[in-house]
Amino acid sequence: MGIPIRKPDEIEKIERANKIVALTLEYLSDEAREGLTLKELDKRAEEFIRDHGARPSFKGLYGFPASVCTSVNRVIIHGIPTDYVLKEGDILGLDIGTELDGWYGDAAVTIGIGEISESDRGLIACAKDTLDFAISIIRSGMRFKELSFEIEKFIKSRGFVPLHGFCGHGIGRKPHEEPEIPNYLEHGSPKSGPKIKDGMVFCIEPMICQKDGTPKILDDRWSVVSVDGLNGAHYEHTVAVVNGRAKILSKIT
């Protein structure tokens, strides 16, 4: 199977699913505060998504037990909501997926709980700025490997490293489709591999480590950390390539 090329009406359907993701992320970012448990955040998110007519697509996906990935401090991605109580100084990754009328949305942010350290502010800024940079350079005719190469360079220029073993991905009729889009160059030249084309829809998601990008999965079999044991950050948008440029689908407009 190749990388799907979506028609304008299909992109609109994917965008509708993503608008609900964006609204849910905005809602959860406002709700998350000291004293709240991760399970309570997950419950509120599921209710919010369903109230907007969609389904939380992560729930049950590959056996994931919740609606939202809640990744605290050293957990970079795929954190499971637990009874952990958020406290001042935590950083929290929120990764949300929806399904609406058979089309999927996906996006993520990392936020601070109350006052956070200067180093964590820099870490989060790197994730967000990397995502913004990646989206800004996407062009029809660019190769996906070139995009990965540029993302890696940007992350390293800020003094951080990308998490290995995990990547961005296509999205549409399924939550994960072709292509895989690592945040680093893998296997060969940036000028090799598939090209980006109008109508492609995919997720870009920088996952940022401080010293070592080697991943480790915790005993819950989901939470991904770096072997350096330090805090990480994650940002994500779903984009469609329209008229040669990337259009963000997972934002509130």
Beta bridge partners of 116: none
Residue 157's CB is within 10 A of a number of other CB atoms, namely 11
For 136-200, list the strands marked E by DSSP. Answer: 161-162, 167-170, 177-182
Structure tokens at 70: 């809640």
Decide if pLDDT at 1 tops 70.
no
The C-alpha angle with vertex 222 and arms to 219 and 227, in degrees rounded to 5, equals: 65
Residue 187 binned pLDDT confidence (cut-offs 50, 70, 90): confident
Decide if pLDDT at 196 tops 70.
yes
Decide if pLDDT at 6 tops 80.
yes
Question: Which of 74, 78, 76, 87 is closest to 32 using CA atoms?
Answer: 87
CA distance 180 to 169: 5
Provide mean pLDDT across the span 48-61: 98
CA distance 7 to 77: 31
Provide mean pLDDT across the span 194-219: 98
Decide if pLDDT at 218 tops 70.
yes
Question: Which of 196, 163, 168, 172 is closest to 182 using CA atoms?
Answer: 168
Looking at residue 239, what DSSP letter applies?
E
Question: Which of 46, 75, 21, 95 is closest to 222 using CA atoms?
Answer: 75
Average pLDDT taken over every residue of the chain: 97
CA distance 216 to 38: 21
Contacting residues for 230 by C-beta, under 8 A, at least 6 apart: 74, 209, 210, 211
CA distance 162 to 200: 24
Domains and CATH numbers, the chain: 8-248 (3.90.230.10)
pTM recorded for the entire structure: 0.97
